[in-house]
Amino acid sequence: MSHKIRVATTSLAGCFGCHMSLLDIDERLLELITLVEFERSPINDIKQLEPVDVGIIEGGVANTDNVEVLREFRRQSKILVAIGACAINGGIPAMRNHFELKECLEESYLDGIGVVNPMIPNDPEIPLLLNKVHPIHEVVKVDYVLPGCPPSGDTIWTFLTELLEGRPIHFPYSEIHYD
Amino acid sequence: MNRWRDIPQRSDLLLQYLIDIQQRDSCISTESIQKLSTELAIPAAQIKSVIEFYSFLHTTPRGHFNILFSDNITDQMAGSRALMRQLCQQLNVRQGDPRADGRVTVDTTSCTGMCDQGPALLINNFPITRLDSKRIELIAQLIEQDTPLEQWPAEFFEINDNVHRADILLTHNTEDGDALRALLEEGAETLLQRIGDAELRGRGGAGFKTATKWRLCKQADAAQRIVVCNADEGEPGTFKDRVLLQSYAAQVIEGMTLCAGIIGASKGFIYLRGEYRYLLDSLEKELQRRRDAKLLGNNILDQQGFNFNIEIHLGAGAYICGEESALLESLAGHRGIPQKRPPFPVTRGYLGLPTVVNNVETLMTACQIASHGSDWFTDKGTRQSAGTKLLSISGDCQQPGIYEYPMGTSVSDILIDCGADGPQAVQIAGAAGQTLCHREFKRKIAIEDASTGGSFMVFNRHRDMLDMVQNFAHFFAHESCGFCTPCRVGSTLISNLVDKLYTSHATQNDLRDIERIALVMRHASHCGLGTTASNHILDTFNNFPDAYQRRLRSTEYTPAFDLDLAVCEARAITGRDDDDAHIVCPPQEGFKP
Ligand SMILES: Cc1cc2nc3c(=O)[nH]c(=O)nc-3n(C[C@H](O)[C@H](O)[C@H](O)COP(=O)(O)O)c2cc1C
Ligand code: SF4
Ligand code: SF4
């Protein structure tokens, strides 16, 4: 048997909705794992990233840790895929871009309702937030984008299977319209 | 102050009321919005959306002196940016922020149509041209002394016509009423036929046959019809309509009246761009003079039932309002969003009425054809493009100004006439037009070859063409009305990528992206702004590849922003400066097999 395609996934500033959608390919997961080997992914909780064929990124870039993980993914992946609105555009987390970072932190940690022991955390263990949330293509080169919030399980399935077969990727209209 | 005081409150005048309030109060306050909302029965949110749409309207005060430097590439080439920095320094203001004492704001605006006498600025909507360091110094003093504009030196506000070549249009002027008398003596059908025989095509850029447009409107079934003179002249580098409105207004207005007489319209509008507000008084006077002479108003030339009245509406800093369907929306007091076509304005235009929209030059030419005959016009020009065309020439040449040429004149002849020294490129038809390089200078100005609404900007061989590209990319990102995604998003993406290229951070990858986005915009945009906004990119890609290539980073990929700088706010807020509070940028990003 030829060696399986190695896939890694991660969620940066996202909600895990795109990963839920990946699981939404239902029983086809069984078929998928005959074709691919999952490396680092929240699905199997592997934390170490080895070189892979396909890296799939959910979520945008909101803090220094996101930058580090993303660059590591880029270094280790032959093909890097941005999945979902957050990775592609910044999405929901980027709504904070309308405000100063200071305002956001003050609202969350000082002035918000129900805040006890108000202070803005400055523990060196905690990654610092970037001034603004960025789409991942502004930090590394991205090879494919899969739009949607989240893209449907079917869309992800079409993408992965066509990619694995080395075909140009075509979606039926029903999988890429959002109205 | 309020131009519209005596008229009952009309909701279609919303934009005009807002412009008056802005001029009076230097902003439109919440109270003003509430008052208008009650008086006109328009929701406050709708009024706010109109204010947000137009660059010249603001909800916070701009200060006693509101200064806008014209930011066309020709102004920049003449040194406008340095002069603006000088003024900001002398007045101690930051660009775009009103000074704390409320005295002054200094900012930029899209081309103000003074390219032949730039660098130029607008101060409280009045243009000051031929700026230089000395003039800026004086301006700063006058502002510090709070001298009212009326007491500023008159020569500051002098606007020259700068006509350097006149042909039939600018010399064979008609007497007041000639065209209208021809209409009354010979009848509408004969006159329409004459304009058709003259093969007159629209001078605003699209080149649609004027007689066909008038006939379609005449045939549309309606009780009222409308004539609109498109005096928005927003295309960067164009200023010939300004000269016509300043020195040939009588014939422009007579052209409108002629059209009204032919198609049976009783109401007309001149949509005058806000940048040309300084022409408002003289145009109003001209309208009054013509009413007094029975050339306008009721029973024109004593012809029972020949009634035609003209209102002047001001624009407020939106290039898109030159597009005719957006213009008609703006006339109705709305945001200037281009409409779906068909229906075309000739059947459903201003407030749903059949409407002819014509460029200033088209109307003046029609007026002259009516009295001089069609042969007078077709004797000049080529078979497909009759007559002459006004060009607004600016940029690197000794004599910038207005040149009237027979259609079919070659670009190289024009370059010689205007004294262009070592030209490497000519941008014709404005930012939306074509970038011609040296090889193409033998092309001819005509609808069938190098078609232009009149803008003609010259770039000599010392210019970096990427300066132009960046200027236009910013222009379109700013002027996109935001209605459709390809243009709203595409114009901003291109503008960001061009900036990245400009600062030598872009890679081959980014160039591929620019080209891809440019093509999507060209094919998928809703209106002419979006479909033409990437012309300059695609043309310069072809004609001036070096301008791009020499700025490329050799790497496959570089980030779009400075990663470490992106953590500066969090560092400041938390007081951290440890290693993890920084992002190190390796020289080379991207996958290495
Ligand atoms: C983005 C855009 C801006 C335009 N600006 C102007 C303008 O400033 N003046 C003008 O006469 N036509 C302008 N036009 C063309 C008008 O839509 C319209 O074709 C013209 O006013 C018709 O008059 P004409 O047939 O006499 O040329 C513009 C078109 C577009 C798409
Ligand atoms: S794209 Fe939607 S589903 Fe995916 S991470 Fe963002 S918010 Fe969640
Ligand atoms: S192409 Fe641009 S200007 Fe035209 S409708 Fe779309 S967004 Fe507006």
Q: Given B565, B567, B591, which is nearest A128 (Cβ)?
A: B567
Contact between chains at A131 and B566 (C-beta distance less than 8 A): yes
Q: Per the structure block, which two tokens stand in for B218? A: 């005449």
Angular region, B74: left φ>0, alpha ψ -120 to 50, beta rest: alpha
Domain B388-463 in the same topology as domain B65-160:
no
Q: Does the pLDDT at position B195 exceed 60?
A: yes
B324 CA from centroid of ligand 1 (Å): 6
CA-wise closest residue to B560 among A176, A39, A141: A141
Locate all alpha helices (DSSP H) within B145-269, ordered by sequence: 168-171, 178-186, 188-197, 210-219, 240-247, 249-263
Measured between alpha carbons, how far is B310 from B296 in angstroms, rounded to an integer? 8
B580 close to A (CB below 8 A) = yes
| Confidence class for position B585, pLDDT limits 50, 70, 90 | confident
Crossing angle of helices B249-263/B360-372, nearest 10°? 80
- Calculate the average pLDDT of chain B: 95
Contact between chains at B574 and A101 (C-beta distance less than 8 A): no
Q: In chain B, pLDDT over 90 holds for what percent of residues?
A: 92
Residues in chain A closer than 8 A to B573 (CB atoms): 101-102, 105, 120
Count CB-CB contacts under 10 A for residue B332: 17
Q: Does the pLDDT at position B26 exceed 70?
A: yes
Q: What is the pLDDT of residue B3?
A: 75
User: What class, spelled out in words, does domain B164-378 have in CATH?
Assistant: alpha beta
| Ligand 1 neighbourhood includes B529 CB (under 6 angstroms) | yes
| Ligand 1 neighbourhood includes B235 CB (under 6 angstroms) | yes
Angular region, B522: left φ>0, alpha ψ -120 to 50, beta rest: alpha
A143 CA from centroid of ligand 2 (Å): 19
Q: Does the pLDDT at position A160 exceed 80?
A: yes
| Ligand 3 neighbourhood includes B528 CB (under 6 angstroms) | no
| Confidence class for position B5, pLDDT limits 50, 70, 90 | low
Work out how many CB contacts closer than 8 A connect A with B: 74
Q: What is the ipTM of this complex?
A: 0.78
Q: Given B568, B575, B593, which is nearest A122 (Cβ)?
A: B575
Ligand number nearest to the C-alpha of B454: 1
Nearest CA to ligand 3 atom 6: B484
| Confidence class for position A177, pLDDT limits 50, 70, 90 | confident
Residue ranges around ligand 2 (CB below 6 Å)? A 14-15, 17-18, 58-59, 84-86, 91-92, 149-150
Q: What is the pLDDT of residue B285?
A: 97
Q: What is the pLDDT of residue A166?
A: 83
Q: Per the structure block, which two tokens stand in for B459? A: 């770039």
Nearest CA to ligand 2 atom 5: A14
Measured between alpha carbons, how far is B472 from A83 in angstroms, rounded to an integer? 33
pLDDT tens readout for residues B352-393: 999 999 999 999 999 999 999 999 999 999 999 999 999 999
Q: Per the structure block, which two tokens stand in for B36? A: 């208008």
Q: Does the pLDDT at position B229 exceed 90?
A: yes
| Confidence class for position B7, pLDDT limits 50, 70, 90 | low
Nearest CA in chain B to A103: B573
Q: What is the pLDDT of residue A32?
A: 85
Q: What is the pLDDT of residue B183?
A: 98
pLDDT tens readout for residues A29-77: 888 888 888 889 888 888 888 999 999 999 999 999 999 999 999 999 9
Q: What CATH code would you report for B388-463?
A: 3.10.20.600
Measured between alpha carbons, how far is B130 from B333 in angstroms, rounded to an integer? 34
Q: What is the pLDDT of residue B256?
A: 98
Measured between alpha carbons, how far is B24 from B32 in angstroms, rounded to an integer? 12
User: Who has greater pLDDT, B489 or B589?
Assistant: B489
Q: Where are the domains of chain B?
A: 2-53, 65-160, 164-378, 388-463
Q: What is the pLDDT of residue A174?
A: 83
Q: What is the pLDDT of residue B586?
A: 65
Q: Does the pLDDT at position B281 exceed 50?
A: yes
Residues in chain B closer than 8 A to A68 (CB atoms): 583
- What's the predicted TM-score (pTM) here? 0.85
Q: What CATH code would you report for B65-160?
A: 3.40.30.10
User: What class, spelled out in words, does domain A5-93+132-175 have in CATH?
Assistant: alpha beta
Q: What is the pLDDT of residue B205?
A: 86
| Confidence class for position B556, pLDDT limits 50, 70, 90 | confident
Q: What is the DSSP string of chain A?
A: -PPPEEEEEEESBS-SHHHHHHHTTTTHHHHHHHHEEE-SBTTTTB-PPPPEEEEEEESBEEEHHHHHHHHHHHHHEEEEEEEHHHHHH-TGGGGGGGS-HHHHHHIIIIISTT--S------TTSPPEEEEEE-GGGTS--SEEE-SSSPPHHHHHHHHHHHHTTPPP---HHHH---
